[in-house]
Amino acid sequence: MRYMAKNIAVIGDSESIKGFCAIGLDIYPCDSGEECAHLLRRIADSDSYAVIFLTEELFGQVEKERSRYEERLTPAIIPIPGVKGNTGIGVKRLLSFVEQAVGSDIIFND
Amino acid sequence: MAIMNVNPTRMQLSKLKKQLTTAVRGHKMLKDKRDELMRQFLDLVKEARQLRDKVESELASCNAHFVNASAVMSKQALDASLMSPKQQVTLEVGSHNIMSVETPVFTSSTRTSDEGDIFPYGFAFTSFELDDAVMSLQRLLPDLIKLAQLEKNCEMMSAEIEKTRRRVNSLEHVMIPRYRDTIKYISMKLEENDRSSRTRLMKVKDMLLDKAHNYSGH
């Protein structure tokens, strides 16, 4: 097993993410989807981050960029709710994994 | 009935029989792999879902704390207090092999030895709401990292399951029936050739007997 030391990045609107700065994560304030796409590509390709948290709002806007990193071990790109509240993208994403694997939604259809 | 484009010879027949056994064995193994992957995947997804629900609700309360803090403090003061972190979190990335799927394992470590040493500001000019907010976010961090790991695992496993499922289906519904049909076709063709040469021989024998002894077999 090989080990690499990497950091955690948070991308989102500055209101949602400034708290993460205080606890020692790297933050990248960003407001538009286009800006976020560039930013994501830059920091994901730099290969110094193991996890990149994106606010849900931006997460939905950078689908194309995200798909480039799906097959790779790192970075893990994970949606988190911002100050504007929870849009349910995170759970929907899990659901889409189940659908991809099983062929239909068998767990969450309650 | 779909058969392959091959010559109906004994060589081909034995080759195809060998390929069929390999395909059947491969199919069985891939099916087992798929079932085991699926079992582990469903456990992972359930765990990830629970953790996500928890993290999302706690994150919402963290955000509420921050909103409260920003209500009591000026924006500049708030930013100044937060923007010079004392702590730096690094992740050790290892890998773990689940049924040939390489998945990441994250272990976190902090720059200073005391994990609780988080407040990057003096307490004199900040509100206690901010302390609450930072503290609850700090407590949430291990869960966030765990969630990231779980969801990445789910993502990678679902891709692998899809691939394996396709392979299993293509073996089960396309490759194996095609091998079976072709083998059947070749063996029938060979038997047919066999019968036709046998009747031809019998006919020739009759003709020879007839010629030599004026004697008919019937």
Q: What is the mean pLDDT of chain A?
A: 84
CB atoms within 10 A of CB B91: 25
Query: A64 CA to chain B: closest CA distance, Å?
Result: 16
Residue A1's pLDDT band (cuts 50, 70, 90)? very low
Can you give the pLDDT at residue A68? 86
Judging contacts by C-beta atoms under 8 Å, the chain A residues touching residue B147 are 78
Domain total in chain A: 1
Can you give the pLDDT at residue B116? 63
Range of the domain at A15: 7-82
Q: Report the alpha-carbon distance of residue A55 to residue B198 in Å, rounded.
A: 80
Q: What is the largest CA-CA distance in chain B?
A: 131
In a domain, A37, yes or no: yes
- This prediction has a pTM of 0.84
Contact A86 B56 (CB under 8 A): yes
In a domain, A49, yes or no: yes
Judging contacts by C-beta atoms under 8 Å, the chain A residues touching residue B82 are 18-19, 21-22
A110 in contact with B, Cβ within 8 Å: no
- The residue ranking higher by pLDDT, B174 or A5, is B174
Q: How many CB pairs under 8 A join A and B?
A: 154
Burial class (CB in 10 A: 0-12, 13-18, 19+), A1: exposed
Give the pair of three-digit tokens for residue A80: 């988190």
Can you give the pLDDT at residue B114? 65
Taking CA–CA distances from A76, the nearest residue in chain B reads B152
Domains and CATH numbers, chain B: 10-206 (1.10.287.3240)
**pLDDT of residue A84 exceeding 90:** no
In a domain, A110, yes or no: no
In a domain, A88, yes or no: no
Give the pair of three-digit tokens for residue A1: 């097993």
Q: What is the largest CA-CA distance in chain A?
A: 42
SS3 B29: helix
Pick A22's closest partner by Cβ from B60, B85, B159: B85
Interface of A with B in 8-67 (CB under 8 A): 8, 15-16, 18-25, 50-51, 53
Can you give the pLDDT at residue B4? 85
Write the secondary structure of B86-144 as one string of H (helix), E (strand) and C (coil). Answer: CCCEEEEEEEEEECCEEEEEEEEEECCCCCCCCCCCCCCCCCHHHHHHHHHHHHHHHHH
From the list B85, B205, B22, B104, the residue with the least C-alpha distance to A18 is B85
Q: How far is CA A81 from CA A8, B61, B124, in A?
A: 17, 11, 31
Q: Report the alpha-carbon distance of residue B181 to residue B100 in Å, rounded.
A: 33
- A99: Cα separation from own chain's centroid: 20
- CATH (domain of A57): 3.40.50.10580
Pick A94's closest partner by Cβ from B52, B95, B144: B52
Pick A107's closest partner by Cβ from B45, B66, B155: B45
Query: B139 CA to chain A: closest CA distance, Å?
Result: 10
**pLDDT of residue A55 exceeding 60:** yes
pLDDT tens string, chain B, 218 residues long: the values are 678 888 899 999 999 999 999 999 999 999 999 999 999 999 999 999 999 999 999 988 888 888 888 888 888 888 877 777 777 888 888 888 888 888 888 888 877 666 666 677 777 677 788 888 888 888 898 999 999 999 999 999 999 999 999 999 999 999 999 999 999 999 999 999 999 999 999 999 999 988 888 766 55
Contact A86 B60 (CB under 8 A): yes
